[in-house]
């Protein structure tokens, strides 16, 4: 229960304890890596932290909290965190991992370029998982490392299904096919959407799991007020309204109802 509460807090603001310590931006060893200049620090749990130069001082508190979150992970073990800042695009991080466990299997070898995270009001992820033949794009709002590891496992072990279930074009096409093949008097398009969302919301090996009607209603009304509202906005508003939600539920709603 404690972990779930922490996950919901994370969506709105990074507010976990700081573990890096009071290290000034002027400190740290300067190193050259991949043609860039970085400042090197040591974080909690021997996490190597590299800051791109120059680094915006106002981003330090967010970096410290991000490092604290990464250091607290139990399913994913990180050994290096690279951080860059941008005035327009928020903070971006690359997390290199030595272990990523899901169902007692290590998938770290499927992440040759690590995990790419971004903070622009909420912490999200957007990276590629390597399979035997493809690089599969994995993205969403970060709730906890266990659910993130499960996403990596799904992409690595069943890339075809992973792509299909998360492809907006496929979702829109599937709805169109179902709508044209079934009489409206038998099954409405809204019912079809809910069935599709439930299928996208299921666990790795589980049955379709219906998405909360309250959450659907909340997101639909939010998008009606502001068409540019994001998944992070939906997560924050759901928390404000006391709804317990998952990133998978929110993602299913955005893909099925709004083709995003």
- What is the percent of the chain with per-residue pLDDT over 70, rounded to a whole number? 78
φ, ψ of residue 181 in degrees (nearest 5): -95, -10
122 and 26 within one domain: yes
112 and 42 within one domain: yes
**Distance in angstroms (rounded) separating the CA atoms of residues 197 and 50:** 40
Domain count, the chain: 2
96 and 48 within one domain: yes
| pLDDT reading at 185 higher than 90 | no
| pLDDT reading at 15 higher than 50 | no
Give the pLDDT band of residue 5 (cuts 50, 70, 90): very low
148-178 pLDDT tens trace: 999 999 999 988 788 777 766 666 666 666 6
Give the pLDDT band of residue 143 (cuts 50, 70, 90): confident
Per-residue confidence (pLDDT) for residue 34, from 0 to 100: 79
238 and 124 within one domain: no
Burial class of residue 82, CB neighbours in 10 A (0-12, 13-18, 19+): buried
79-115 pLDDT tens trace: 999 999 876 667 999 999 999 999 999 999 999 999 9
Domain boundary among 158, 179, 203: 158
**Distance in angstroms (rounded) separating the CA atoms of residues 175 and 187:** 12
Domain boundary among 118, 137, 158: 158
Q: How many CB atoms lie within 10 A of CB 187?
A: 14
Per-residue confidence (pLDDT) for residue 23, from 0 to 100: 44
114 and 6 within one domain: yes
172 and 152 within one domain: no
Q: What pTM did the predictor assign?
A: 0.58
Answer with the residue of higher pLDDT: 12 or 147: 147
Give the CA count within 13 Å in the CB-facing half-sphere of 192: 19
Domain boundary among 158, 187, 207: 158
Pairing of strands 48-52, 76-86: parallel
149 and 109 within one domain: yes
Q: Domain range spanning residue 178?
A: 167-258
132 and 172 within one domain: no
φ, ψ of residue 73 in degrees (nearest 5): -60, 145
Structural contact between residues 214 and 234, judged by C-beta atoms closer than 8 angstroms: no
């Amino acid at each position: 229960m404690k972990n779930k509460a922490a996950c919901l807090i994370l969506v709105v603001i990074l507010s976990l304890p700081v573990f890096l310590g009071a290290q000034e931006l002027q400190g740290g060893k300067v190193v050259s890596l991949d043609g860039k200049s970085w400042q090197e620090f040591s974080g909690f749990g021997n996490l190597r932290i590299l800051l791109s130069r120059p680094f915006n001082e106002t981003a330090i508190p967010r970096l410290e909290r991000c490092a604290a979150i990464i250091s607290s992970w139990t399913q994913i073990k990180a050994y290096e965190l690279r951080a860059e800042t941008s005035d327009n695009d928020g903070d971006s991080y690359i997390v290199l991992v030595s272990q990523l466990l899901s169902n007692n299997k290590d998938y770290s070898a499927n992440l040759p370029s690590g995990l790419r995270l971004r903070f622009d009001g909420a912490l999200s992820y957007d990276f590629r998982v390597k399979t035997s033949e493809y690089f599969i794009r994995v993205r969403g709002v970060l709730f906890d490392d266990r659910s993130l590891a499960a996403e990596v496992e799904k992409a690595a072990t069943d890339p075809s299904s992973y792509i299909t279930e998360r492809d907006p074009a496929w979702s829109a096409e599937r709805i169109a096919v179902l709508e044209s093949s079934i009489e409206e008097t038998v099954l409405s398009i809204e019912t079809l959407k809910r069935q599709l969302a439930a299928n996208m919301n299921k666990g790795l090996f589980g049955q379709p799991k219906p998405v909360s009607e309250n959450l659907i209603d909340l997101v639909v009304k939010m998008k009606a007020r502001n068409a540019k509202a994001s998944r992070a906005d939906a997560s924050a508003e759901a928390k404000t309204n006391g709804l317990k939600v998952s990133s998978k539920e929110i993602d299913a709603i955005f893909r099925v109802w709004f083709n995003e």
